[in-house]
Amino acid sequence: MEVDKGKGEAEETRKVAEADRDTVTLKSSDGKLFEVSKEAAARLSTVLAGMIAGGSIDDNGTDLKQIGSEALENVVDYCNKHANSIPSAALISSSISFNTAPFKEPEEWERKFVDRLSHDALFDLVEAANFLGMERLLDVTCHKISEMMKGKSPDQIREVFNIKNDYTKEELEEIRQELAWAFYDD
């Protein structure tokens, strides 16, 4: 297969013929096509796995209207990198224990993968990962965002995450006093 999986570039000119090929084609909200390993997609995304199993994959590009091309490119990139990097056993064990297991630290390559993303791209990727039911990718991106939040003041958090401050001045002062210790850095 000569497709450049790492880049996941638009494959609009590509002819897709065989029905049981080992890749699936995904179409972003803005109409770009991306090809991803069927095995990786099914393993990493519960939604894609369901679509593949249910036969609702469109060989001419399965519409993912909620996901923009930049985010989808990252998703595909991640899937392809993942297929090459991690034994599936490790992934399976990490996907079983969602809520109780200690956090699985991102692998080195996953760290690098999210580190290169802009804030916007990172947030879009979280959204896409959640939409596609990609638990591991969600873990990795959430980890990155939580890293970004560590040690930040409420003001900074509001700015980065675009949250409206709905406290009154007095309430805010009260909270600050009550939790004064939490506002000091270690």
Partner 1 sequence: MESSKPRRAADLTLTGAFIFHHSGAVLPLDAVYEILLRLPGKDLCRLRAVCRLWRSLLSDDHAFAAAHATRHRHREPFVVAAAGHDAERTEILYDILDLSGQVVKLARYTARPARRRPMHPASGSGTRARALEQEINHLTVAMITVGQVPKPVLEENEGPCLPCCIGHLGTWVAIDGIVYLFSSEEVLDQDFMPALIASFDLETEEWRPAIRGPLEPGRLPLLSALRCPPQTLELEPGRFPLTRRRILAPPPQTRAH
Residue 90 binds partner 1, judged by CB under 8 A: no
Question: In angstroms, rounded to a whole number, what is the distance separating the alpha carbons of residues 82 and 84?
Answer: 5
Residue 167 binds partner 1, judged by CB under 8 A: yes
Number of residues that this document lists for the chain:
186
Helix ranges, the chain (H): 38-44, 46-53, 69-85, 88-96, 108-115, 119-131, 135-149, 154-161, 169-178
Report residue 12 as tokens. 């609009």
Residue count, binding to partner 1 (CB under 8 A): 55
Looking at 17, 164, 169, 170, which residue binds partner 1 (CB under 8 A)? 164
Q: Which residue has the tokens 């809520």?
A: 99
Region near partner 1 per CB under 8 A, out of 6-14, 22-30, 31-39, 124-132:
124-132
Q: Where do contacts with partner 1 occur on this chain (CB under 8 A)?
A: 46-47, 49-50, 53, 95, 98-103, 119-120, 123-124, 126-127, 130, 133, 135, 138-139, 141-143, 145-146, 149-151, 153-154, 157-158, 160-167, 172, 175-184, 186
